[in-house]
Structure 1
Amino acid sequence: MRPAQAYPTGLDVDLDVFSGPFDLLVTLVLREEIDLWEVSVARLIGDYVVHLADAGDFDLDTTSQFLVHVATLLEMKSRLLLSLPGDDDVAEVEAEEAGEELLAALVRYTQFRRAAEALAGLWTRHAGRIARQAGLPACYSCPPSPGRRMPPAALAEAM
Structure 2
Amino acid sequence: MAAKAGELKVPFIRDDQLTRCMRLRVQSLQQKNEKPQDGEKLLRPNEHIYRVNFIQQQNLCFLRWEIQLERSGKVTVTGTSQHWTPDLTHLMNRQLLEPVGIFWKKPGAMHVECNEADAQEFGERLVELAKIRKVMYFLLAFADGLEPAQLKGSVVFKA
TM interval, short-chain normalised: under 0.3
Higher strand share: 2
Richer in helix (by share): 1
- Greater RCO, 1 or 2 (C-alpha within 8 Å, sep 6+): 2
Instruction: Compute the TM-score of the two structures, normalised by the length of structure 2.
Output: 0.25
Q: TM-score, normalised by structure 1?
A: 0.25
Larger Rg: 1
